[in-house]
Structure 1
Amino acid sequence: MSLIGAAVLGFLLGSIPFGLLLTRAAGLGDIRAIGSGSIGATNVLRTGSKALAAGTLLLDGLKGTVAVWLAVWLLGPAAAGVAAVAAVFGHCFTPWLGFRGGKGIATALGAFLALAWAVFVTAGVVWLVTAKVTRISSASGLAGMIAAAVVAWIVGGPGLGWPVLVIVVTIFARHHQNIRRLLAGAEPRIGAGK
């Protein structure tokens, strides 16, 4: 029952569509109508508001962190991985938006922070370095996720490795169109195009 509770808690927290809420509150309309149609920070940045994009990134990350922390506090350490996976699922498949949502990287990073700081730091550093080099948001995010999966197995074994791997696979699935464009050399750079 504690694992079911962790899944419900994580999913509900993860499903809060902060990108949509912030852009609507700012009078910018429906973020799903521009760019990639995602509710995540990268698409919010396409509105031209760095502040809203930063706010979306922070809040999407926090819901992953809070989901894990609350699950551990209320249900015990065994609930952490389930809550982390559920938070990412909630963000990617939010029921409030017809089970469509964002692509999960910020929420995953927030969950990693609560699960194991080494996984969070590794993913974050690889993400930032790759973004600096390539200026491609999807490439940097996916590189960070691969690094997270490797480090999770090294520092935490299967107990940490499996939840992180499920999250990473989900994120790669959500990025299938980006991956196709990356392979074709057609993925837009940060701050340009859609």
Structure 2
Amino acid sequence: MNTILAVIAAYLIGSLSFAVVVSKLFGLADPRTYGSKNPGATNVLRSGNKAAAVLTLLGDAVKGWLAVWLASTYAVQFGLDDGSVALVAVAVFLGHLWPVFFKFVGGKGVATAAGVLIGINIWLGVATLATWMIVAFAFRYSSLAALIAAIFAPLYYGFLFGPDVKLLAVFVMSGLLIYRHSQNIANLMNGKESRLGSKKANVKK
């Protein structure tokens, strides 16, 4: 029962879409209505408001970290095992992708996945984030960086800890993240993907 409650709580935490909430607080247009129409930090940045984009990034990452940290910290107290923590990790990620509070229209999960990985293990998160940064700075494509990082995340986990149930959770998140970037993959192949630092979108409040 505690595992079920933890998973539900994690999903609800993940369903808090900071891109939508922060944009509303800053008086910006709903990020689901312009640019890529993705409620995430990269699209919020297209509004031209860097502070809102940073807060969105931090909020989405922290909620992923918080859910896993809570499950791991209180695992013994509430009888949660590694399998329960793995389910919580996936649940908070699913909440971000398909948030119940926002008609199941969520983001692509990059920041939340990073937070989850940091919650599982700080070095796993650092290695994955470093991969994202290297690719992003080298090629100026946020989506390409996310895809490469998603591929490497399970490899890093396997190298650090070997095969276990949490590795399965990382594989699931990586697969979902790649799936959510299917349009970006098509854009990259067709040379239509926008680069980091490109002109802001035509945003109407």
TM range (shorter): over 0.9
What pairs with 1:17-96 in structure 2 (closer than 5 Å)?
17-74=17-74, 75=78, 76-78=80-82, 79-96=84-101
Counterpart residue number, 2:129? 124
Identical-pair percentage: 36
Deviating more after overlay: 139-148 vs 100-109: 139-148
- Contact 1:153/1:160 (CA < 8 Å) preserved in 2? no
Distance in 1 of aligned mates of 2:54 and 2:111: 11
Q: TM (normalized to structure 1)?
A: 0.95
| Alpha-carbon shift at residue 73 of structure 1 (Å) | 3.1
1:44-71 Cα offsets, whole Å, 9 max, x none, are 1001011111111111000001001112
Shift of 1:22: 0.6
Distance in 1 between the 2:194 and 2:176 partners? 22
* Matching of residue 105 in structure 1 with residue 121 in structure 2: no
Whether the aligned pair in 2 keeps the contact of 1:9 and 1:71 (CA below 8 Å) is no
Corresponding residue number in structure 2 for 1:148: 153
Of residues 71-80 and 37-46 in structure 1, the stretch that sits farther from structure 2 once superposed is 71-80
Residues 45, 191 of structure 1: 8 Å contact kept: no
What is the aligned counterpart of 1:165 among 154, 163, 171?
171
Q: Distance in 2 between matches of 1:17 and 1:162?
A: 25
Segment of structure 1 superposing worse, 151-160 or 37-46 = 151-160
Separation in 2, partners of 1:155, 1:77: 19
| 2-structure distance, mates of 1:86, 1:48 | 32
- CA-based RMSD of the aligned residues comes to 1.4
- The letter of the residue matching 1:131 is A
Measure the CA separation in 2 of the matches of 1:175 and 1:139.
9
Does 131-140 or 70-79 show the bigger shift? 70-79
* Residue 180 (structure 1) aligned with residue 186 (structure 2): yes
Provide structure 2 residue ranges, at least 5 long, that are not aligned to the other structure: none
* Bigger radius of gyration among the two: 2
Give the deviation of 1:77 after TM superposition: 4.3
User: How many angstroms does 1:100 deviate by?
Assistant: 1.1
Tell me how many residue pairs correspond in the alignment: 194
- TM-score for the superposition, normalised by structure 2: 0.90
Shift of the alpha carbon at 1:173?
A: 0.9
Code of the residue aligned with 2:133 in structure 1: it is L
